[in-house]
Amino acid sequence: MSTHDHNARVPLAFLLPGARAQVNALGDEIDATQREQILAYGLAPGRPVTVLQQHPMTLVMVDEVELALESSVARHVWVTRR
Amino acid sequence: MTASAIALVGNPNVGKSVLFHRLTGAYVNVSNYPGTTVEVARASARFDAAVDLIDTPGVLTLPARSDDERATMHALLHEPLRAVIQVGDAKNLRRTLTLTALLAELGVPAVLALNMHDEASARGVTVDAQALSNALGIPVVPTVATGGEGIAQLTRALTDARALQPLLHYDTDTEAAITDLANRITRHAPHPRLNARGLAILYLGQDSEVEAWLAEAAGDQITGMASARAAAQTKGVMPAALAHERGEAAGTLTARVTARTAQASPLLAHRIGQLIIHRFWAWPILLGVLFVVYEFVGVFGAGTLVGLMENDLFGKILNPAVTTFVRANIGVPWIADLLVGEYGLWTMGMTYALALILPIVTTFFIIFGLLEDSGYFARLSVLANRLFKLIGLNGRAVLPMVLGLGCVTMATLTTRILHSPRERLITIFLMALAIPCSAQLGVVLGLLGGISFTATLIWVVSMVGVLMLAGFLAAKLIPGRRIPLVTEMPPIRLPLFGNVAKKTVGRIKWYLIEVIPLFLLGTLIMFLLNQFGALPAIIRAGEPLVSGWLGLPPEASAAFVMGFLRRDFGATGLFALSHQLSPIQAVVGMVTITLFVPCIASVMMIVKEQGWKIAAAMIAFIVPFAFLIGGLLNHLLRAVWA
Ligand SMILES: Nc1nc2c(ncn2[C@@H]2O[C@H](COP(=O)(O)OP(=O)(O)OP(=O)(O)O)[C@@H](O)[C@H]2O)c(=O)[nH]1
Ligand SMILES: [Mg+2]
């Protein structure tokens, strides 16, 4: 994960609206129950996401579902840009 | 209990309750947000009266993590299930199949209803039901529950329900742990219907319902299982890892049977959905919604309709006629008084209930149902999240609180959707304290709306202020961490007239059946107190508090006595005094009585969900606190708003 090209992973919270990305990993800061919940919502490693907006909260589209994540969580969802 | 039952199981908000209605004819609430159903409902099936159909709360995941999911797991463990109808959202197959992967391990005969086909097509998603059926080994029936499509096929497919093909094998360490545990379960705690393997997986996943069931069935042997699980966990066999593997397997199968055509432009529903929570547009939209609610309920309901009912129908026609009739035909004066006197069952009880509050709650229920079904309520969690952070909660708690404006009792049950006992406790407490239910809201709007908009506004600001203050303190006092918000937004949908109508009628029925008897009982108590001369004593006893501290006329003591029965009834008592009240007195009275003890039904619900100790502690705090705030407000308003 130490590559520094534009494929480097970034937190989901840092992407601009409209950006498309692929989930890379869920950081260890996210507790076990919430991790399960996020996985169940479909925000799992390898899955494509589209960022819809970042304020007041991170809003993403996964498959056909809109998910809202507080930025304290979205900061620990690592993605690579597509 | 019948010998056989069929459960509807699935992710939240996928249409289980609509299907339940289609299959049984029994209506349970249907709304457009996850967490509508929070307890099991049952009714006998239309296609076979000997079969009980069971509607369950939606599960985002099994193993169960919140109390509504636990209720579903409980049903799977304890109901005499012949089969399960898994209801899935066709446009969200991955999540559907993640749950299927778990149901497969339990070995219950199943059928998959692939619901919301209309929405999937609109989004360019098509699922090959035949291929999916082949892969799973069970019937897969595409349905549109709201339109009644596929219901007949689904009923027919039930005879072909069979155990699912397993969707995956876990990694080696996990499989070893599963086999070990499954052997122990087979030996010490075999389940009459469910496979030991499935129970082992749920136990590894720390499902508390399965833990409880095994502890009961296995007796001492549970310690062996517990240490086997602990050993597995040191090897990395963790609940989230298992969930991840199920998700992967579901994803692979989804990709195989789903085709997507790219959409030219985002759906209108999507765009509206985003505007509602847009960083800028959200606020004018919120104000607009509040304005419409106020116009419809406060102005049209509480003004126009109440005017027609109270002044014209009851005041000019019904009450004079009833009074004349009673006085002429009933010779015993106290009986006549009981019916049509100052505290008469008809002139006070029924007049309040039917002429004053019914029009207001009816308009409220209509607009409430529309908002529920549109998907707007669920989006409020995003808007309120930052505010709720201050009170140790996240935006998820908005939903029960908003539903509390309909009925606090039902909303207390809805707190099951929250993820921690701490969140539940804080939310239930705040609702008991500061969320007025529809009936009470009706009285408040009726009284304060008649005085001025400012008066209403002061009441609103006071309630929100108290909510925040009490929440802030509760969050400090109750140990535990706040959980950040992660939630899904249901699609924006056009409310269906039929559904809103059914809900509204159901709620009006609730009002008539549950509230009116209490109104009559309250009137009777007032009558008796008055008749036996106790009222003056109460008025004298309450005088220092009610007149001295709150600055209300002494007769208002009686309203607080009535308030013990129902807050809204106490509020109505104040309403009866309204001609004697100054604007300040009206606001202070309404604020105090809104904070005052919640209705008996909701106290019983708190006892049921949290135990009597917590319920008693809440009441012990709330009653003095209500008077404290009311008095402070009285003194403040007298200083600044004279
Ligand atoms: N377009 C469309 N909407 C549907 C369909 N089935 C249900 N709905 C809508 O989906 C929403 C949820 O329906 P419910 O029956 O309450 O869903 P549920 O699965 O019982 O939800 P929970 O009890 O919260 O788990 C409602 O607004 C329904 O009108 C369908 O086939 N097509
Ligand atoms: Mg339901």
Question: Each residue of A31-67: pLDDT tens digit?
Answer: 888 999 999 999 999 999 999 999 889 999 998 889 9
pLDDT at B12 over 90: yes
State which amino acid sits at residue B288. G
* Nearest partner of B58 among B33, B26, B35, judged by Cα: B35
User: Does B63 sit behind a cis peptide bond, omega within 30 degrees of 0 on the bond before it?
Assistant: yes
R_g over Cα of chain A? 12
pLDDT at B613 over 70: yes
Exposed, middle or buried by CB within 10 Å (0-12, 13-18, 19+), for A82? exposed
Residues B117, B132 contacting (CB under 8 angstroms): no
Place of tokens 């692929």: A22
Helix %, strand %, coil % of chain B (to 5): 70, 10, 25
User: In this predicted structure, what is the pLDDT of residue A2?
Assistant: 45
- Ligand 1 pocket residue status of B207, Cβ below 6 Å: no
Cα separation, B254 vs B59, in Å, equals: 19
Q: Considering only CB atoms, which chain A residues are within 8 Å of B70?
A: none
Q: Considering only CB atoms, which chain B residues are within 8 Å of A66?
A: 270, 273-274, 488-489
Nearest residue of chain B to residue A52 (CA atoms):
B274
Structural domains of chain A ordered from first start:
9-81 (2.30.30.90)
Q: How far is CA B482 from the centre of its chain?
A: 22
A contact residues 35-64, partner B, Cβ 8 Å cutoff: 35-42, 44, 46-47, 52-53, 55-57, 59, 63-64
pLDDT tens string B360-399: 889 999 999 999 999 999 999 999 999 999 999 999 999 9
- Ligand 1 pocket residue status of B488, Cβ below 6 Å: no
Quick one: CA dihedral A4, A9, A15, A18, positive or negative? positive
Structural domains of chain B ordered from first start:
5-163 (3.40.50.300), 283-640 (no CATH)
pLDDT tens string B135-148: 999 999 999 999 99
Average pLDDT, chain B: 90
Place of tokens 């590559």: A3
- Ligand 1 pocket residue status of B34, Cβ below 6 Å: yes
Specify the range with the lowest mean pLDDT, choosing from A5-9, A20-24, B8-12, B188-192. A5-9
Specify the range with the lowest mean pLDDT, choosing from B48-57, B84-93, B335-344. B335-344
Instruction: Please report, rounded to a whole number, the percentage of residues in chain B having pLDDT higher than 70.
Output: 99
Phi and psi, residue B365, nearest 5° = -60, -35
- Check residue B124 and give left, alpha or beta (phi > 0: left; psi -120 to 50: alpha): left
Q: What are residue A11's DSSP bridge partners?
A: A78
pLDDT at B315 over 70: yes
Q: How confident is the model at residue B36 (pLDDT cuts 50, 70, 90)?
A: very high
- Ligand 1 pocket residue status of B16, Cβ below 6 Å: yes
Interchain pair A41, B247: CB under 8 A: no
pTM exceeding the 0.95 threshold for the entire prediction: no
Output the DSSP codes for B583-633: HHHHHHHHHHHHHS---HHHHHHHHHHH-HHHHHHHHHHHHHHHHHHHHHH
pLDDT tens string B427-452: 999 999 999 988 888 888 878 877 88
pLDDT at B298 over 90: no
Token pair listed for A26: 């869920």
Q: How confident is the model at residue B611 (pLDDT cuts 50, 70, 90)?
A: very high
Q: How confident is the model at residue A3 (pLDDT cuts 50, 70, 90)?
A: very low
Place of tokens 């919502």: A41
Interchain pair A56, B94: CB under 8 A: no
- Could you say which of A40, A47, A69 has the minimum Cβ distance to residue B60? A40
Interchain pair A39, B385: CB under 8 A: no
Cα separation, B537 vs B409, in Å, equals: 33
Terminal-residue alpha carbon distance, chain A: 16
User: In this predicted structure, what is the pLDDT of residue B522?
Assistant: 79
* Nearest partner of B199 among B216, B95, B60, judged by Cα: B216
User: In this predicted structure, what is the pLDDT of residue A1?
Assistant: 45
Write B144-150 long-range contacts (CB < 8 A, 24+): B144/B115, B144/B116, B144/B117, B144/B118, B145/B15, B145/B18, B145/B19, B145/B22, B145/B87, B145/B113, B145/B115, B145/B116, B146/B15, B146/B18, B146/B496, B146/B499, B147/B118, B148/B22, B149/B117, B150/B113, B150/B117
